[in-house]
A and B are shown apart, each in its own frame.
Chain A
Amino acid sequence: MTLDQQQKFRHIASLALALLVVGLVGVFAFLVPVFATTLDAYSVFAFPLGFYLTAQGSIVAFVFLIFWAGGRQEWIDRKFGAAEER
C-alpha cells in the first residue's frame, strides 16, 4: 500500500470504529431506558432487569467500550503505519 492509501484506509477504519461505538452508546443510553419497563419482567441480582441495565449495566458497558475502542483504534493505527512511538 502506498502512504496515501494507508492514510485513507486508516481514516475509514477509524471512522467506522467511532460510528460503531456511537451506535452502541445510542443503544445503551436511549434504547435500554425506552424498553426498561418491558425488560423489567426479568430480574438480575434481585433487580428488575430494565432498571438494572439503566442504572448500572449501561455505565459498566460504557467503561468497557472506552477501553475496548481505545485498543482497537491503536490496532488500526499500527496496522496502517501510524502507531505512536513510545
Chain B
Amino acid sequence: MSLYPHYRPVNPRLGTHYAIFASAIAALVLVLAMVEQLGAPKLWISHVMILTPLALLLCVTALTRTLDKHEFMAAGRRVPAVYGGLSMAATMIGGTGFFALTGALYLIGFDALALVLGAAAGFVLTAVLITPYLRKSGAYTLPGFFRQRLKSRVAGAVAALLLVPPALLLIAAEMRLGGFVASLFVSVSFEAAIAAGAALAIAIVIIGGMRSVAWTQAVLYFLVITAFLVPLVIVSLKHTNLPIPQLTYGELLDRVASQEIALGSVQAGTLELGEALPGERPEPALKPFMKAFGAISRGDFLLLVFCFMCGTAAMPGLLTRAGTAPSIHESRRAIGWGALFLGLFLITAPAYALFTKFLILQEIVGTTPSQLPEWITGLRDAGLADFSDRNGDGVIGAAEMLISRDGVTLALPIVAHLPFVTLVLVAVGGIVAVIGATAAHGLSIGTAVGDDLFRGLVFPRASPGRQLFAARIGAIAALLPTAWFVSMQDFDILPAVAWAMSLSAATFLPATVLAVWWDRLTVWGLLAGMTAGFATTAGYIAFVEFGDMMPVLGVSSLVAGIFGVPAAALAAIAASLLTPAPGADIVALAREVRDPSGETIQDRAIRVAAQAQAAASEGGAAGLADEGRAS
C-alpha cells in the first residue's frame, strides 16, 4: 500500500479562503480612499496601507505554519494548478519586474522587450523540457533531483553549492528595490527598511517553508496585479475611453512619437549593452519608444532574450514549484497558469510605461521651465526625477528630463493626478512583490542546505526535525548577510539580475535537460556540465567586469550565458561519453522519470524504506512509517 494516494486531494474551501484575503485587500484600499477624501494625513495613510497587507501576509504565514518535512519542502503537494501558477508568477515578477522592467520599458521602449520575451519563453521551455519530469521524480529540490537520478550524493551537493550564487544575486536585487521603495513611504531609513523586509521574508521561510511561500505568494500576486492595474485602468479610461490599457495604448503610440519629436529625443545609435540598459540614476529617455534596436543592438537583443529564457527555464526557485502540484497533470497546468498570470503582467508593463510617458510628455511639451507642473517637485524631492532647463534655451528638451528607472512605476499615479492612496497602493504592490520573491529565493537556498548538503552529504540519517532546522538556518544564513551587504554596498540591480540569469542558465539548464532526456548521462558528465557552465559564466563576468579582459566578440558580461550554456552542454556530453556507461539501475531511473504512470520515485523510495524498517522490527510500524514519510 502506498503511503500517499497518487493524487493528493486539495482543500475544498480554498477558493473561499482566497476570496476572503482578496476582498480584505480590496476593502482596505476602498476604505483608505474614502478616509483620504475626509482629510486624513498622508503619512498615516501610507503607514496603514503598507503595514496592513504585510500583516495579512504574516497571517497567511501563521495559518500555513508547519513542522512536517513534506509540507515544508513541497507544500504537502496540495497546491492546485491555478494557485501554483499564481505563486510562480509572483516569484518571477518580483520587485525587479514591477519597478526595473517597467522603468526600462519607459527609458528604452521596444528594446527592453528582450527581458519580457525571455521571461515568458523560459516558462515554455521549462514546461515541456523539465517541470513534469521533476514532479514525477518527486525530489524536493533541483539538486535533490540530480542526487536521485544519478544516485550520487556528491552531484546533489555540488548542485546545491552552485545554486547559491545566482539566488543570492536575485535576493540582493530584490532587497535593494524593496528598501528603496519602502523608505520613501514609511518613515524609516533605507537600512531599517531592508532589515524589516529581510525579517519578514525570513519569518515566511522559517515558519512554513514552501507551504507558506506558495500560499503567501498566491495571495500577494493578487495585490501586485491590482496595484499595477488600478492606476493604469483609470488613466486608460480617461484618455482612451476603454478600461483595457493593454489594447488601447496602440492609438497613443503615434501621439507619443510626435511628442518625442517635438522634444528632440533622438538616440545617436546603438550602445554597448552595459550602457544601453538603463542604470539606476535618473537619466533622460532619449530613445524613441517605438524605435526597434535604437539603444540595444539587434545581436545584443537576441543574446538577452536567450539568457533570460534559459535562466528562467532553469531557475531553481521556480523549478522546485513543480513538487507542490498534486499530480504531473496539475504540474503541467500550473506552469501554463503561471505563464498566463506572468503574461498578464508582462503585456501590461509596456502599456504602463507608455501611458506614463504619454502623460509626462503631454504636460511638458510646450511649457516653459517656470511653468513646470507641481508634481515635479514631489518627484524631485524623492530623487525619482529631475526636470530642469540645463542648457538655458528656455524650453525643456528630452535630454533635460531625467527620470529614475525604478521610479517610473511610482510616477504614473503622481503625473496622472490620482489620489494618494493609488500611489501607496502601487508602492505596496511592489513591496510585497519584493518580499515574496526574496522569500522564494531564500527558501530555495534553505531547502538545498537542509535536504542536499545537510542530509544528502553530511548526515544521511539525520532526523526530519534536524533537516528542517538545517534548512531554516540555511535560509537565515543566506538572507541576513545579504541584507547587511545590500544596506552597505551600492550596486545596480539590473546587471545583478542579468548575471543571475546567465549563471542559473549555464549551471542548470543543460544539466537538467540532459538528466531528463539522455539516458547515457553519467555522474561525471553532470558534474562536468554544471561546473564548466558555472566556471565559464562566472569567470567571464569576473574577468570582463572586475578584471581587464577585453570582451570576446564584443559580448557584454551581462549575457555571459551565451558562452556558459554551450560550454556546459559540451562538457556534460563529452565527459559522459568518455566515462563508462551508467549501470542498468541508473538507466531504469532515467526511463522512469519520463514515465508518468505509477507513483513518484521518491514516494517509492520512502515506501520501500518504511516497509524494510517495518519488516526488520515488528510492532511500532506506524511510528516508523511516520519517520519514513518525512525522509
Contacts and interface: CB of A to CB of B under 8 A. Distances in A.
Interface of A: 7, 10-11, 14-15, 17-18, 21-22, 25, 28-30, 33-34, 36-37, 40, 43, 45-48, 50-52, 54-56, 58-60, 62-63, 65-67, 69-70, 73-74, 77, 81-86
A82 to B, nearest CB: 5
Nearest to B291: A37
A62 B596 contact: no
A69 to B, nearest CB: 5
29 contacts: A10-B594, A11-B591, A18-B128, A22-B129, A25-B121, A25-B125, A28-B117, A29-B117, A29-B118, A29-B121, A33-B114, A33-B117, A33-B305, A45-B250, A51-B110, A51-B253, A52-B250, A54-B110, A55-B113, A59-B116, A59-B343, A59-B346, A62-B124, A66-B127, A66-B128, A67-B333, A74-B329, A77-B597, A83-B597
Contacts of A66: 123-124, 127-128, 332, 335-336, 339
Nearest to B330: A86
B343 A60 contact: yes
A40 B293 CA distance: 13
Give the interface residue-count category, chain B: 35 or more
Contacts of A50: 292
B233 interface: no
Contacts of B335: 66, 70
Given A36-B110, A46-B251, A84-B327, 9 more contacts: A15-B517, A21-B128, A59-B120, A63-B336, A66-B128, A70-B329, A74-B329, A83-B596, A84-B329
A22 B310 CA distance: 12
B298 interface: yes
Nearest to B333: A70
Contacts of B333: 67, 70
Given A30-B305, A62-B343, A21 B594 contact: no
A12 B57 CA distance: 46
Interface of chain A: mostly helix, strand, loop or mixed: helix
Interface in B322-363: 327-329, 332-333, 335-336, 339-340, 343, 346-347, 350
Closest 6 CB pairs of A and B: A46-B250, A70-B332, A47-B250, A66-B336, A84-B596, A29-B121
A50 B110 CA distance: 10
Contacts of A74: 329, 332, 596
A32 to B, nearest CB: 8
B412 interface: no
Contacts of B290: 48, 51
A54 to B, nearest CB: 5
Contacts of B123: 62, 66
B594 A11 contact: yes
Contact of A63 (B117, B293, B339): B339
